[in-house]
A and B are shown apart, each in its own frame.
Chain A
Amino acid sequence: MRAFLRDYQMVAPQTLQDALDLMHYEPGVWKPFSGGTDLMVLLEAGRLMHKKFVSLWGLGELRGIEESPEFVTLGALTTYSEVLASPTIVNQYPLLARAAGETGGVATQNRGTLGGNIVNASPAADSPPALLAYEADLELVSAEGPRWVPYADFHTGYKTTVLAPHEIVARIRLPRRKPGWREYYRKVGTRKAQAISKVCLAAAALRDQGRIIRMRLALGSVAPAPLRCRHTEILLEGQRLSPSLVAKARQQLMAEISPIDDLRSTEMYRRRVAANLLEEFLTSP
């Protein structure tokens, strides 16, 4: 435990409004803290630079999964375990359920939250590709009020987002979808459980009589932020599946992503396996 605890402060306001007012009063001074599964690791390594945190964990306003005719909306504090326990998510948004099940072990799933994961903005996070594939929107709130942002516009670079210093992510909204999508989620990690992703593909396709009508491809760990591969999607939309289309799509995908060498894997591996995952998805019966 390498942190000097006396340097750190955390407060736990009783209501969301209190938390937002505090962040508004001193913008950038107070950072939101939910389950701690990312930030506490940094603290223990002596690398948590920021010193003042506002705990959102007890705020009921940020919990719960709500359903309406057009949307399913999850509170930012929804844990991965809560995602897995929701029949609506498991049945209608299986990519998100798969992502939740791949995130850490059970203890991490009980404390890790979707909002925390999104704001932590790791390019290797497991849920973001699913959220991109489902074209999620985020509700960002501050003392000034709420605003909705497409999740696809949330990340602006490596660990940078459009979230203002006095804002938090309050809700994640998933549009209801027509039935008939074929979906695919595969995370390639360093081992079968408790693994940081080396490559991750969340994909969904709507087909009509052999022709691809709509295609959504989102990847993790292959760019500075979670990435929706729009060029590859466009190449595939409107086409009939064929070996040459698959080959072209592989090439396009490999060109669209920008993976790197790091402690866990190599740029070449990530590039090739991303293309393999795409091919596996396209050619699966």
Chain B
Amino acid sequence: MPPVRVVESIGKPVPRKEGRSKVTGSATYVDDLIFPDMLHGVTVRSNIARGRITSIEFDPAVDWSEFTIVTAADIPGRNVISLILDDQPCLADTRINHPEEPVVLLAHADKHQAERARQCVRIMAEPLPAIFTIDESIQKNEVVWGDDNILKSFLLEKGDVETAMATAPIIVEGEYVTEAQEQLYIETNGMIASANPRDGVTVWGSMQCPYYVHKALAPIFGLPGGKIRVIQMATGGGFGGKEEYPSIIAAHASLLAWKSGRPVKLIYDRAEDMAATTKRHPSRTRHRTAVSRSGKLLAMDIDFTIDGGAYATLSSVVLSRGTIHAAGPYACDNVRIRSQAVATNCPPHGAFRGFGAPQSIFALERHMNHVAAAVRLPPEEIRRRNFLRPGGSTATGQVIRDEIDLNALLNRALDLSNYREKRRRYAESRKKGTVRRGIGFAAFMHGAGFTGSGERYLKSVAGVEATEDGIVRILVASTEIGQGTNTILCQIAAQALEIEYGQIEIAQPDTSNVPNSGPTVASRTCMVVGKLVESAAFGLRKKLQESGYLEPRYTPSEFRRACGAYIRDTGTLRSFSEYEAPPNVYWDDDKYRGDAYGAFAWAVYVADVSVDTVTYEVRVEDFVALQEVGRVIHPVLAAGQIEGGVAQGIGYAIHESVVWKDGRMANGQMTNYIMPTSADLPPIRVFFLENPYENGPSGAKGIGELPMDGPAPAILNAVEDAIGRPVDRIPLLPERLMEVLGV
């Protein structure tokens, strides 16, 4: 037998699969597509937060016969955006529940005419009192959703918090607030639709989850799934902002296409995208913690509330994740987490990288520093005395089976960041000059994959197919949005089949052609879908080997020849794999107890900051991000995920502020919504540890959202170190820091 070369793709910095198209500008995003006969769509939206629509006025100076006009009355099926609770209409009919709610759609062949016409339609409404904050919602001065404004609530209990509190020597309380954050993908939302009763509905667009769009379109048109086709184009960033929102814009484009009989392109400009689409849920967390004099956590009583905006959308799931992460990587026998998502009349909030965890982890990691201060221990010591160890259990009672040593992780992060020496040096240097330096850290974990029984419910399927010339094509609905889906799935398949990375392709996600591998969210694409791709690949090879076309050991060229021969003789060569829950994973949906996630990634992030007492500006001077991730599939892409996530986390902490005016985002321009430029960011130093996770492809866990959790608490811990006063609300803008300093 000829010697077989070992082909290794995992862990290698192979070229990004679609990299060439991106660096040459030839990658096709939805706005790059032109269809013959295409119309341009625009959306007319409400300019009040809540009210009863009385009429829609069309300026008689416009020749409306040139336009396609769609309102709720034109919806062939149900007027609903189908997601979880089905409470959100596709187009507002009689009621307005938030500013920028879509009411009328227009289309015209000339996009300038369409835009001008948009300004000539007025939605007349009788205003109703509206609410915009968590407090207003909880107080129920106005009930704007359901009977009580509560979109969802959870109660998570472990042990006996009341008794522990009653006998506790020290109790530490704190309140922590996070505000909304805009995803700010550089490519705005957009869709092109072609739709008619005979052929059905096809949409092309910017999205993370083709099958979510597919599920939402079917009831709107009263069509069976086979008549709906959703195709993902190159997508310029998502970060969760294109998880559920694209269903709405796809529905709108499709309705215009249906009515006009022509393809319709609907692209939001930046101002519309900022004002009308989802943001990260604002949150308020209250901690009440019983601790022993030696710093041992005795009980954690946590109250976690998020603002869901006007409709439920994904709030229940965001709440779930935030709730489960609220008690963090600490061992505590008595935990109670009461959480709720409440409704207001802001545009619905939605998915954004981290999905509830950045909010509750911010609160926890700030609070742990307060607990440390209350028992006169340094922040690192309070962590050491309470970190979970293998065999310990989380707030949901999940037993940690990972061989993770959080103390070692913490020590390593502190070494890499020169934490101890800097802490001493900064304490000295603070006494003179106008710049105060500080250093702080956050320790956290992030669960990958859907919570609890979610993955079982999704029943994701992935496939691979071979072509006659031996190329293997991956068939998944998981999308490339910059994070590297295409590349790592091809690496995983190449590794599984022991052929070259160059022999693997990945099909464009097109629901008529690929199975539902679930949404591209929840840090699941590598860990869950990658595992399915791996097993589908094994299945493909098994078919070749069991039918005698391929030897047990083979070269990549022999593999090619085998595919060719099999296909010529048999027709097609495909293999699919469906998700099966790992054994020994138990989750109780009612009590919210058990194994919440298949795997956690663990991390300690350290922020070194300067506070300028002349301008009250905070600047991050250095940042260390250390995490344990199972296995690094692609070193450049993995580091890129962390670097980008840290940058967003820095924005979340000290730059990005949504200014609300009567429920509407008033600073919806890139000039006024401040994301970090290259001049604003520190060196971001990324380090990985690898403890392979047995159920991940080559041991990999999910990491997409992890980096969002650490920066804000680490930075505010550093700021408190610098100024000696607590800061417990983000974004920490200079105007707020000035107040904190009491000048």
Contacts and interface: CB of A to CB of B under 8 A. Distances in A.
A46 B617 CA distance: 34
B112 A273 contact: no
Most buried by B among A1, A41, A196, A276: A276
A269 B615 CA distance: 9
B617 A188 contact: yes
B677 A280 contact: no
Given A188-B617, A263-B667, A194 B677 contact: yes
Interface stretch (B588-596, B639-647, B668-676): B668-676
Contact of B679 (A190, A193, A268, A280): A193
B116 A269 contact: no
Contacts of B678: 193
A268 B671 contact: no
A207 interface: no
Given A45-B271, A191-B676, A2 B617 contact: no
Contacts of B672: 190, 196, 263-264
Interface in A165-214: 188, 190-196
State the 5 A-B residue pairs at the shortest beta-carbon distance, nearest first.
Answer: A193-B679, A192-B679, A269-B735, A276-B614, A193-B677
B115 A2 contact: yes
Q: Does more than half of chain A's interface fall in helix, strand or loop, or is it mixed? A: loop
Nearest to A264: B672
Interface in B78-125: 111-113, 115-116, 119
B141 interface: no
A41 B671 CA distance: 10
Contacts of A280: 434, 614
A268 B738 contact: yes
Contacts of A190: 655, 672, 674
A266 interface: yes
A269 B434 CA distance: 17
A25 B77 CA distance: 61
Interface in A269-285: 269, 272-273, 276-277, 279-280
Contacts of A191: 655, 674, 676-677, 679-680
B6 interface: no
B734 interface: yes
Given A6-B112, A193-B680, A280-B434, A273 B616 contact: yes
A48 interface: no
Interface residues of B, number: 32
Contacts of B619: 192
A255 interface: no
Interface residues of A, number: 30
A90 interface: no
A5 interface: yes
Interface string B636-670: 00000000000000000001000100000011010
B269 interface: yes
Interface in B426-461: 434
Most buried by A among B112, B271, B678, B735: B735
Interface in B108-153: 111-113, 115-116, 119
A192 B659 CA distance: 20
B186 interface: no
B137 to A, nearest CB: 25
B23 interface: no
A155 to B, nearest CB: 22
20 contacts: A4-B113, A4-B116, A41-B671, A45-B271, A45-B669, A188-B615, A188-B617, A191-B655, A191-B676, A191-B679, A192-B679, A193-B680, A194-B677, A263-B659, A266-B735, A268-B735, A268-B738, A269-B616, A276-B615, A277-B615
A40 to B, nearest CB: 13
A265 interface: yes
Interface string A87-107: 000000000000000000100
B1 interface: no
Nearest to A5: B112
A269 B734 CA distance: 8
Given A191-B680, A193-B679, A263-B672, 8 more contacts: A1-B112, A4-B113, A45-B271, A191-B677, A193-B678, A269-B738, A276-B614, A276-B615
Interface string B198-219: 0000000000000000000000
Contacts of A192: 619, 677, 679-680
B743 interface: yes
Interface of B: 111-113, 115-116, 119, 269, 271, 434, 613-617, 619, 655, 659, 666-667, 669, 671-672, 674, 676-680, 734-735, 738, 743
B92 to A, nearest CB: 22
Contacts of B676: 191
B738 A2 contact: no
A195 B673 CA distance: 10
B180 to A, nearest CB: 15
Contacts of A45: 271, 669
A268 B111 CA distance: 44
Nearest to A2: B115
Given A45-B271, A188-B615, A191-B676, A4 B671 contact: no
A94 B430 CA distance: 31
Nearest to B42: A2
Nearest to A45: B271
A6 B111 CA distance: 12
A279 B613 CA distance: 12
Contacts of B659: 263
Given A192-B680, A193-B680, A269-B734, A4 B614 contact: no
Nearest to B666: A263
Nearest to A276: B614
Contacts of B667: 263
B735 A46 contact: no
A158 B618 CA distance: 31
Contacts of A41: 671
A280 to B, nearest CB: 5
Interface in A224-281: 263-266, 268-269, 272-273, 276-277, 279-280
Contacts of B615: 188, 273, 276-277
A276 B612 CA distance: 11
Contacts of B680: 191-193
A158 B115 CA distance: 31
A268 B434 CA distance: 20
Contacts of B735: 265-266, 268-269
Given A191-B676, A192-B680, A266-B735, A4 B616 contact: no
Contacts of A266: 735
Contacts of B666: 263
Most buried by A among B619, B669, B738: B738
Contact of B738 (A5, A263, A272): A272
Contacts of A2: 115, 269
Given A191-B655, A191-B676, A192-B679, A4 B738 contact: no
B730 to A, nearest CB: 16
A276 B113 CA distance: 51
Nearest to A277: B614
Contacts of A5: 112
A46 B738 CA distance: 37
A46 B678 CA distance: 30
Contacts of B674: 190-191, 195
Contact of A1 (B269, B434, B614, B734): B269
Contacts of A263: 659, 666-667, 672
A269 B743 CA distance: 10
A151 B229 CA distance: 63
Given A190-B674, A263-B672, A269-B734, A1 B115 contact: yes
A279 B434 CA distance: 11
B616 A46 contact: no
A263 B617 CA distance: 17
A106 B680 CA distance: 16
B611 to A, nearest CB: 13
Contacts of B271: 45
A3 B659 CA distance: 25
